[in-house]
Amino acid sequence: MVRPLAAVALAAAVLFGGTAHAQESATYSLNGHTIELRTEGPGTMGTVFVSVDGRVVEQFEGPSFVSIGSARRFALPDEEVLVIAGHGGSICPEINWLLSVTAGGGAMVHRLPGCLPPDISVGPQGGLVFVFPPGNDGVQREMRYRDGQVAEVERVTGASQVVEAQRLLARLGYDPGPADGVMGTRTREAMAAYERDFGRSPVFGLTGWTHYLTTLREDVARAGR
């Protein structure tokens, strides 16, 4: 773990129009350069600024940190990488950023997907591999970083849950395709039709698979299928 050389938090320190503005900054030493990560804005939404040796190289609008946590350092050929974890509040418990700096001071910043901490490993051909826990939609996301390039892939997990949903949807007269545990186009269309016809919430979001399947089982039972 790499701790910030300096961190300053002024949470809800500035009031503007009755809205609390959160400000926080953390400074790191990376590949011989001084890196500052600074967030400011109303609540958990605002702007994230990234500076290298006092020069702002990136800024992002959107979810910002409530507080900046620790960082993990990885030494790769020609560059050093920090994966910085921030706490985004109840909506997004953990916001992760990848920050890469070359010896020449070139920087690359990428907001990692999701709101959960990833497992990180060095790939067999170099670079880093990030594997994120499955979300409420049953999809596991993987991100690969190498030579300044980011590629994201999705892998369907929770196959047993998808299989059960496919079988239950078929009993209600929908066509999700074969019960193979794959969230393909036909399965997604069948789920959307079921949600529309029965006034149900999608699995994607706070409801999650457990509640979705419970409701789906109840609807099948009520339909006598």
Q: What is the 3-state secondary structure (H, E, C) of the chain?
A: CECCCEEEEEEEEEEECCEEEEEEEEEEEECCEEEEEEEEEECCEEEEEEEECCEEEEEEEEECCCEEEEEEEEEECCEEEEEEEEECCCCCCCEEEEEEEECCCCEEEEECCCCCCCEEEECECECEEEECCCCCCCEEEEEEEECCEEEEEEEECCHHHHHHHHHHHHHCCCCCCCCCCCCCHHHHHHHHHHHHHHCCCCCCCCCHHHHHHHHHHHHHHHHCC
Residue range 6-156 forms a domain whose CATH class is mainly beta
% the chain with pLDDT above 70:
67
For residue 1, name the pLDDT band (cuts at 50, 70, 90).
Answer: very low
Q: What is the pLDDT of residues 170-217, one digit of tens each?
A: 999 999 999 887 777 898 899 989 999 999 887 654 346 777 888 999
What does the pLDDT read at residue 62? 59
Categorize the per-residue pLDDT at 88 as very low, low, confident or very high, splitting at 50, 70 and 90.
low
pLDDT 10s digits, 150-163: 777 656 556 677 88
- Note the pLDDT of residue 198: 94
Q: What is the mean pLDDT of the chain?
A: 74
Report the pLDDT value the prediction gives residue 130, as an integer from 0 to 100. 83
- The model's pLDDT over 38-87, given as tens digits with 9 standing for 90+, comes to 877 665 567 778 888 888 887 776 555 555 666 788 888 888 888 877 76
Res 79: pLDDT: 84
Intervals of CATH 2.40.128 along the chain: 6-156
pLDDT at 225 over 70: yes
